Amino acid sequence: MPDKRAQLSSGPEIKETNLPGVGVRFDFSTESGENVAVVHHRTGRRELVLYEREDPDCSRDVLELTESDSRTLAELLGGAKVAEELGKLQQSVEGLAIDWLPIVVGRPYAGRTIGDTGARTRTGTSIVAVLRGDVAFPAPQPDFTLEGGDTLVVVGTPRGIEDLATILQTG
């Protein structure tokens, strides 16, 4: 009976369930079919929960994490830091939006430079990073050449980002 469902880019579906008086539980199934949950206590404590095979309702192992433990674990698992920093940025500036926009193979800007998109002049948005496979290129210059399959990390107004998405699709 999850209260909300969400999905990170291309990841599995994450289910969110309120635990009244305690906090929130997030859970998802790994690609190998294992159920994993993270319980966020309001006190800042976190629990990482694995479920029993025989009884999928019951936790088999519970790893208790303090706030700094969970930060360390997230960093070791990778990727979280960028998201956290961006999250902070988003919180501090009202009306600022961040999005991940794909460069689809065969679309106008695959093979062209960031400058060609005219992102800043036409939409007021900034491309703060380009993700290519496992590699991230932070703060790319206007002469950076985009490839099909890249993902752009874009910061701007929600409107500007929508415009840029259209431009990337249609030219």
Q: Does 59 bind another protein (CB under 8 A)?
A: yes
- Minimum CB separation of residue 100 from another protein in Å reads 29
Angle 139-145-151 (CA atoms, 0-180°, nearest 5)? 65
Torsion of CA 86, 98, 118, 137, to 10 degrees: 40
Q: Does 29 bind another protein (CB under 8 A)?
A: no
Residue number, 3 or 147, with CB nearest to another protein? 3
Q: Which of 31, 54, 94, 134 binds another protein (CB under 8 A)?
A: 54
Q: Which of 8, 22, 83, 139 binds another protein (CB under 8 A)?
A: 22
> Facing residues of 26 across strands?
16, 38
Helix residue spans in 18-157 (DSSP H): 67-77, 80-92, 114-117
Q: Does 105 bind another protein (CB under 8 A)?
A: no
- Minimum CB separation of residue 65 from another protein in Å reads 13
Residue closest to 161 by CA, chosen among 112, 101, 103, 121 = 101
Residue number, 37 or 127, with CB nearest to another protein? 37
- Minimum CB separation of residue 116 from another protein in Å reads 48
Count the neighbouring beta carbons within 10 Å of the beta carbon of residue 107.
15
